């Protein structure tokens, strides 16, 4: 039955709902002046979060959907890091007080492409501009193939306490097909270096739906990963959008698995991780029972942002770097994507805001509904409607989609409480899409639902 559902719904192109409205709806009518006004309104007593984007790698992985470019030289990276330090100062000045910070996340690209000294200078600038709380989570995305021992030591020295390691697959056939050759031994050495440097919490990123990938190779990768005892797994379906990411054209489309095979791979990984003692978080994360993410799930505090599932409760997320997205209580802002343009704006002492989105009351209501569906796999529509002063009967915009999901046994409706049935978690994006006021049925810019 579940394979039938995968065939029926799997080809739909849907957002991952790490934001609502989603990034394609951002527009240039939200600019620097709006962002400055929103920054000034951040409460001084409520912690905010920071995301820093580092758009450089040493080589291009053909599956990558991130804003990044390849450089062999260190000079462009050092210049860019100086821009990040300057932007941190500019944003802090716009806020007008020393803002407390509860979470810092370095994403990319490959943040550890910086030299240890450059990374330490950048963290020092953040601590100077903001009040980084003593128990703040400081997380860094890492390519294990390029992590040196001095860099691992610098991460520990700077207070990094969570490392997110890209693994994707240990199958050499798959690795050749995606231009990412990474042995288990390289990964194990990186984990050991980080642990010896004092980094204690680990996330591993896996992908399914890659060229030549099979259920057996997915399970082999999971088994090796479990040996290294990570605290969390993020398990994403490969999004093949070569019209937007030209390098993905190097991947042969006839080597990609169909929706049924993708579903089998994703559920095999999920079953293996649950059997190993991990708790399923939403539809694509897994965590040990004592991990903060699992605790947040049990306590109903789970959130979703641009990094996926999180226990970060901050209302303001400050985005630093080219293409970085920030979220204020009033709306979203995004910096310019091109590194050259970003640095030029910062050099002129201007914020790099290129576009954004200001929330309406209906946006806030639907964002709340969609977040609860994505995080809790259930939503009490009248309860959320009362919180926003809305009519819960107007919440569902695609009733035929919900009716189909109910008929297929993927969703239940008891009164006005909607819930995704056990075993149908992989359809949660299909459920959430029924509440999306902006979703176009013809869009191809999103990844497949499964």
* Domain co-membership, 129 together with 178: yes
* Domain co-membership, 232 together with 371: no
At 7 the pLDDT is: 79
Between the alpha carbon of residue 332 and those of residues 13, 38, 118, 337, the distances in Å are 23, 10, 29, 15
At 444 the pLDDT is: 56
pLDDT confidence of 5, banded at 50, 70, 90? confident
At 443 the pLDDT is: 57
* Domain co-membership, 351 together with 389: no
- For residue 275, give the nearest of 221, 207, 226 by alpha carbon: 226
Q: 197 pLDDT exceeds 70? A: yes
pLDDT confidence of 12, banded at 50, 70, 90? confident
Separation of alpha carbons 422 and 436, rounded Å: 23
Dmax of the chain from CA atoms?
A: 61
Q: 442 pLDDT exceeds 60? A: no
Strand 13-14, strand 69-70: pairing: unpaired
At 1 the pLDDT is: 45
Decide which of 441 and 47 is more confident.
47
At 241 the pLDDT is: 87
Is residue 5 domain-resident?
Answer: no
Domain-ending residue, one of 315, 339, 358: 358
The CATH number of whichever domain residue 169 belongs to comes to 3.20.20.70
- For residue 250, give the nearest of 108, 61, 13, 72 by alpha carbon: 61
Separation of alpha carbons 295 and 411, rounded Å: 25
Average pLDDT over residues 218-236: 98
Domain-ending residue, one of 358, 379, 405: 358
At 445 the pLDDT is: 62
Domain-ending residue, one of 358, 390, 410: 358
Average pLDDT over residues 399-426: 94
* Domain co-membership, 365 together with 271: no
At 441 the pLDDT is: 64
Nearby residues of 100 by Cβ (< 8 Å), 6 or more positions away: 44, 45, 46, 47, 48, 130, 131, 133
Give the global pTM: 0.95
Question: What is the tens place of the pLDDT at every residue in 108-145?
Answer: 999 999 999 999 999 999 999 999 999 999 999 999 99
High-pLDDT (> 70) share of the chain, %: 98
Average pLDDT over residues 268-293: 97
Q: Is the peptide bond before 21 cis (omega within 30 degrees of 0)?
A: yes
At 449 the pLDDT is: 64
* Domain co-membership, 332 together with 416: no
The CATH number of whichever domain residue 430 belongs to comes to 1.10.10.920
Is residue 9 domain-resident?
Answer: no
**Domains of the chain: total:** 2
Q: 416 pLDDT exceeds 50? A: yes
* Domain co-membership, 120 together with 259: yes
Range of the domain at 186: 14-358
Separation of alpha carbons 6 and 258, rounded Å: 10
* Domain co-membership, 292 together with 438: no
At 211 the pLDDT is: 97
At 147 the pLDDT is: 97
């Amino acid at each position: 039955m579940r394979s039938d559902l995968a065939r029926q719904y799997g080809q739909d192109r849907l957002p991952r709902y790490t934001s609502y409205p989603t990034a394609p709806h951002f527009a240039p009518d939200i600019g620097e002046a709006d962002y400055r006004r929103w920054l000034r309104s951040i409460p001084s007593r409520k912690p905010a979060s920071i995301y820093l984007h580092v758009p450089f790698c040493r080589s291009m992985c053909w599956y990558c959907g991130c804003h990044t470019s390849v450089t062999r030289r260190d000079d462009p990276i050092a210049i860019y890091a100086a821009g990040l330090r300057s932007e941190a100062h500019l944003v802090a000045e716009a806020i007008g007080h020393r803002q407390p910070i509860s979470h810092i996340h370095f994403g990319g690209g490959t943040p550890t492409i910086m030299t240890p000294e450059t990374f330490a200078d950048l963290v020092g600038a953040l601590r100077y501009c903001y009040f980084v709380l003593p128990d703040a989570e400081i997380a860094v995305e890492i390519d294990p193939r390029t992590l040196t021992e001095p860099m691992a030591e610098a991460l520990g020295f700077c207070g990094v306490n969570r490392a997110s390691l890209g693994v994707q697959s240990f199958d050499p056939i798959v690795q050749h097909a995606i231009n990412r050759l990474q042995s288990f031994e390289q990964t194990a050495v990186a984990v050991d270096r980080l642990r010896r440097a004092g980094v204690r919490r680990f996330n591993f990123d896996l992908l399914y739906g890659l060229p030549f990938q099979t259920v057996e190779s997915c399970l082999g990768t999971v088994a090796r990963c479990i040996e290294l005892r990570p605290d969390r797994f993020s398990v994403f379906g490969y999004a093949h959008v070569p019209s937007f990411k030209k390098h993905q054209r190097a991947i042969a489309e006839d080597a990609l698995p169909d929706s049924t095979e993708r579903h089998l791979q994703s559920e095999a990984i999920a079953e293996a991780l649950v059997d190993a003692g991990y708790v399923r978080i939403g539809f694509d994360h897994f965590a040990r029972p004592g991990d903060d993410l699992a605790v947040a799930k049990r306590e109903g505090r789970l959130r979703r942002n641009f990094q996926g599932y999180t226990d970060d409760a901050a209302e303001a997320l400050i985005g630093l770097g080219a293409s970085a997205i920030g979220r204020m209580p009033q709306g979203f802002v995004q910096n310019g994507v091109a590194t050259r343009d970003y640095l030029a704006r910062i050099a002129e002492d201007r914020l790099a805001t290129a576009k954004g989105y200001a929330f309406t009351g209906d946006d806030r209501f639907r964002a709340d509904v969609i977040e609860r569906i994505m995080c809790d796999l259930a939503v009490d529509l009248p309860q959320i409607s009362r919180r926003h002063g809305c009519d819960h009967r107007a919440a569902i915009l695609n009733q035929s989609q919900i009716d189909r999901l109910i008929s297929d046994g993927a969703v239940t409706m008891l009164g006005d409480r909607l819930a995704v049935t056990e075993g149908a978690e992989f359809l949660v994006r299909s459920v959430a899409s029924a509440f999306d006021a902006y979703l176009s049925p013809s869009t191809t810019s999103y990844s497949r639902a499964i």
